[in-house]
Amino acid sequence: MKYIVATSIIVLGLVYLFFWMISFFRRIFVRFKKKDEPASLAGAVITDSAQNASTDAIWAIRDSISRLEEAKNKVVALFGSEFPSVDAKEAYFGTVTAWELLEAASGERKGNTENSRRARWALETAKSRALQCASALKGYENLQIELSNAFDACYREISAALDAIAPRQEEKPPNEIIVKKSADEYQLLCSVCGAVSWILKKGKSDDGKDWIQYKGISSGMGLNAEDSPVLFDLLAQGNLADVHRHIYNKYVSSDVMGIDAYCPECKTIYCARHYNVYETYDEGFYDETIGTCPKGHRRKLND
């Protein structure tokens, strides 16, 4: 009996070892194949040395992602299922997703920007989670620094690789930053790139009441319908300063800081990217949204 049990254990062990080795060598093979394989074999068009260099650069980012994974594992080991662990995981998996989309984008035809656009979006979401996690690591300074540095490296490298394979389209300032879409809707465009950055629209709330929908670069909300005449008149006059002031004065108690996309010093509109918007967190909880315009004017956009 003892002999049969011992033999079974050894056989099972050998079978396990066999499959483990197959999967191990397959992983290595796939990794090297991906590394060496020019993009043409993966179905792409560009095969020159620049493409190979960018493929190498993309695979090199895995090292930084491994360091982020180590930092994430330390947070999870320390906090278990508590708050910072969730953010650490989201920051890590968001970064992995951004990398996978980057890798997919690198094999695409030029001009196809869907994967790079989604990669940028995943990366920005991961950044917000990494900031949130770092803010919750008060009292664990070394881990806080390790996580921040690891994420910053991933962010820098993935952004640079995305810029290399899918350069951002040339930016063109719009002719007019105030666009009247209809009698009930105005849009404000970024003065640098023309992206729609703020929308004010008359409509109905969920419970059927008249209201004005406010959609900005840091938040969206409903304003009272009674503000319609004054706000829409001011917009028709092109008076953004007073639109901003009116909303600020009336709604600052609800944490609305006027037109969030507006820089009062430049007296113009910026999108989230050109206002360099970022969220701050205090011990893991949302604190405020800060914007710094291209001329360096900094203000709180949302509280």
Closest CB to Zn ion among 67 and 299?
A: 299
Closest CB to Zn ion among 193 and 301?
A: 193
| Least distance between Zn ion and beta carbon 22 (Å) | 51
Sorted by sequence, the CB contacts under 8 Å of residue 133 that are 6+ apart come out as: 75, 84, 87, 88, 91, 147, 284
- Is residue 302 within 8 A of residue 255, CB to CB? The reply is yes
User: Please, what sign has the CA dihedral across residues 258, 264, 267, 272?
Assistant: negative
Q: How far apart are the first and last CA of the chain?
A: 72
Closest CB to Zn ion among 94 and 291?
A: 291
CA dihedral 179, 181, 184, 190 (to 10 degrees): -40
Q: What single-letter DSSP state applies at residue 291?
A: E
Closest CB to Zn ion among 78 and 195?
A: 195
| Least distance between Zn ion and beta carbon 258 (Å) | 14
| Least distance between Zn ion and beta carbon 120 (Å) | 14
Closest CB to Zn ion among 41 and 266?
A: 266
| Least distance between Zn ion and beta carbon 266 (Å) | 3
| Least distance between Zn ion and beta carbon 273 (Å) | 5
Closest CB to Zn ion among 78 and 196?
A: 196
| Least distance between Zn ion and beta carbon 177 (Å) | 11
Q: Site residues (CB under 5 A) for Zn ion?
A: 190, 192-193, 195, 263, 265-266, 271, 274, 293, 295, 297
| Least distance between Zn ion and beta carbon 71 (Å) | 32
Please state whether 296 falls in left (phi above 0), alpha (psi between -120 and 50) or beta: left
Place of tokens 């956009």: 301
- Is residue 194 within 8 A of residue 174, CB to CB? The reply is yes
Q: What is the distance between the alpha carbons of residues 264 and 293, in angstroms, rounded to a whole number?
A: 10
- What's the order of all strands across the beta sheet hosting 278-282? 278-282, 285-292, 298-302
Closest CB to Zn ion among 107 and 194?
A: 194
